[in-house]
Amino acid sequence: MIIDQRQKFKSSTAGIDIHYLGDFEWELVGVEYPNVRLSRGEELLHHKRFSLLRELVGDKKTLVRLARKVDITYQKEKAKRSTENSESEKPRWLENRELLETAEREVAQKLEEFMSLPGSERVGKYHDWLRNVVLKDIMAGEEDNKVCGFVIILFGKKYILLLQGKSSIGKNLLVYSFIQMTEHYKTNRITRYGLDYLSPDEVFGKILYLKEAEDFEGHFGFVLKSLEDFEDDDWITYKVTYPIRDEKTGKITAYTQTSLKLKALVSTTNIEYILTPGVQERMFFIKLDDSAEQNRKVLKFIDREETQKQEVKQGLRKWTDREWSLALAYCLWRKLNEITDEVIIPYDNLAEIVLGALASDVEVRRHARKLRRFVEWFARAFILFLPVVEVNGKKVRVVTLDVLKLAVRYFYHLIEAKQKFKSPHILRFAEKLLEEYRDQ
């Protein structure tokens, strides 16, 4: 009887597919087999009740493809429901055309003013405006961290960023202030193997935003160490390999699924010390301020923000100071992103210059590769003020000493270095020559 059924259902793997009918029911196409109910794709590969189907298909890759389609479909259904539920959570300021148009005009006017200044003054004045006006009301205090968040989240790529601090200290407020401006995939938490089942299409080229990382010793720590950074690729890559057992021989073989390609991974945690080997050197850390002085700033900020929200509801003002800061940051980022020129750092001994004073600390090795990346991202936030040169017929922007010194200052903040950056004598001499050249 079984032999007759196998002969009846015998089919080529070409054209075999599986279609979702809803309510966990699936229709098989290209093979004569009744509709099936599945809670996850893995059942097709291992559950006893599908042993006959596995023999009929007879091809492991086809079975894995069908199982993967089941999981991806369920992920998309879940994401769709999540999107529908979050429509009402979309920030009001991003839908306020008047606010964005006003902010766009303000940004254009200020950038024009900075460009009209003497060359030696442009970077300093622009930096003061960025720090003390544009980002001022994103959140209370945290001036250095707001600049670092703006630079890393909006101008960085192929990075892992972790914000550390006690509960309710503002970690997700800082992250979401910037991450909502760009493409991202947000989830509150990921179960042990949740990342393995994310749809590659759903997260492709986006920032994966995990609101809270609970543990770095288990699977999540393994995931962080497993993210691959290929020089010829624009994304960090995560590959998943599944074991597949041959029904006839019992032999187990490995099959690698389609990779997840992410722009970056961002998360927060209240874990103070992360000691998992191989993780720290892969990540940027932003540590939030938990001092009494910062607490006072937060209380004052909350009072002002809540008062302004009431005034907006009563028609006494058009938007809050925080919404104005968010709109300025968004319009500035979009304006700077219009310039796609490559940025060159003309210092082949950058790590030695910047980190040489820290050489007695073995931790310095972890910072060397991150340094150059951060300087490039920081320079992109100042790209309007970088000189243009032509290299092999291609226009590029060159990082200047004043921008480098600012970038190093914020990098020292990220790595919690205590000393200030001192330019070597040859760089100080070159800086003076450059200032004279600019003035001329």
pLDDT tens digits, one per residue of 376-427: 999 999 999 998 888 888 888 888 889 999 998 999 888 876 555 455 544 5
The verdict on residue 116 lying in a domain is no
Phi/psi class of residue 12: alpha, beta or left (left: φ > 0; alpha: ψ in -120 to 50)?
Answer: beta
Interacting residues of 341 by C-beta distance below 8 A, sequence separation 6+? 383, 388, 395, 396, 397
Query: For residue 352, what are its two tokens?
Result: 């030695």
The verdict on residue 410 lying in a domain is yes
Residues 162, 275 within the same domain? yes
Residues 160, 231 within the same domain? yes
Residues 366, 256 within the same domain? no
Q: Looking at residue 85, what is its pLDDT? A: 41
Residues 235, 153 within the same domain? yes
Residues 226, 146 within the same domain? yes
**Does residue 431 have a pLDDT over 60?**
no
Q: Looking at residue 439, what is its pLDDT? A: 47
Q: How far apart are CA 195 and CA 186, in angstroms?
A: 12
Q: Looking at residue 11, what is its pLDDT? A: 44
Q: Looking at residue 368, what is its pLDDT? A: 80
What average pLDDT does this structure show over 86-105?
81
Residue range of the domain that includes 379? 342-439
Residues 78, 203 within the same domain? no
Residues 151, 255 within the same domain? yes
**Model confidence over 4-61: pLDDT tens digits?**
444 444 445 557 888 888 877 888 888 888 888 887 788 888 877 888 888 888 888 8
Interacting residues of 140 by C-beta distance below 8 A, sequence separation 6+? 170, 294, 297, 298, 300, 301, 302
**How much is the mean pLDDT over the chain?**
79
What average pLDDT does this structure show over 182-197?
72
**Predicted confidence band at 89 (pLDDT cuts at 50, 70, 90)?**
low
Q: How far apart are CA 300 and CA 137, in angstroms?
A: 12
Residues 153, 284 within the same domain? yes
The verdict on residue 196 lying in a domain is yes
Out of 52, 68, 88, pick the residue that ends a domain: 88
Residues 80, 165 within the same domain? no
Q: Could you say which DSSP state residue 328 is in?
A: H
Q: How far apart are CA 31 and CA 82, in angstroms?
A: 34
Residues 77, 213 within the same domain? no
The verdict on residue 323 lying in a domain is no
CA 168 to chain centre: 21
What average pLDDT does this structure show over 248-256?
66
Out of 288, 312, 329, pick the residue that ends a domain: 288
Query: For residue 372, what are its two tokens?
Result: 């150059």
CB 357 within 8 A of CB 419: yes
Q: Looking at residue 321, what is its pLDDT? A: 93
Number of domains in the chain: 3
**Predicted confidence band at 200 (pLDDT cuts at 50, 70, 90)?**
confident
Interacting residues of 63 by C-beta distance below 8 A, sequence separation 6+? 44, 45, 54, 57, 244
Q: What is the DSSP string of 102-154?
A: HHHHHHHHHHHHHHTS-HHHHHHHHHHHIIIIITTTTSSS-HHHHHHHHHHHH
CB 286 within 8 A of CB 148: yes
Count Cα neighbours of 161 within 13 Å in the Cβ-side half-sphere.
33
**Predicted confidence band at 189 (pLDDT cuts at 50, 70, 90)?**
low
Residues 49, 148 within the same domain? no
Query: For residue 121, what are its two tokens?
Result: 């003054």
Q: Looking at residue 77, what is its pLDDT? A: 73
The verdict on residue 399 lying in a domain is yes
The verdict on residue 319 lying in a domain is no
The verdict on residue 332 lying in a domain is no
Q: Looking at residue 80, what is its pLDDT? A: 62
**Coil, strand, or helix at residue 8?**
helix
By percentage, how much of the chain surpasses pLDDT 90? 25
Interacting residues of 229 by C-beta distance below 8 A, sequence separation 6+? 158, 236, 237
**pTM summary value:** 0.73
Is the C-alpha dihedral spanning 186, 342, 282, 356 positive or negative?
Answer: negative
**Does residue 184 have a pLDDT over 80?**
yes
Q: Looking at residue 3, what is its pLDDT? A: 42
Lowest mean pLDDT among 185-189, 322-326, 398-402: 185-189
Residues 245, 171 within the same domain? yes
CB 48 within 8 A of CB 93: no
The verdict on residue 84 lying in a domain is yes
**Predicted confidence band at 271 (pLDDT cuts at 50, 70, 90)?**
confident
**Model confidence over 123-163: pLDDT tens digits?**
999 999 999 999 999 998 889 999 999 999 999 988 888 88
Out of 25, 58, 88, pick the residue that ends a domain: 88
pLDDT greater at residue 70 or residue 78: 70
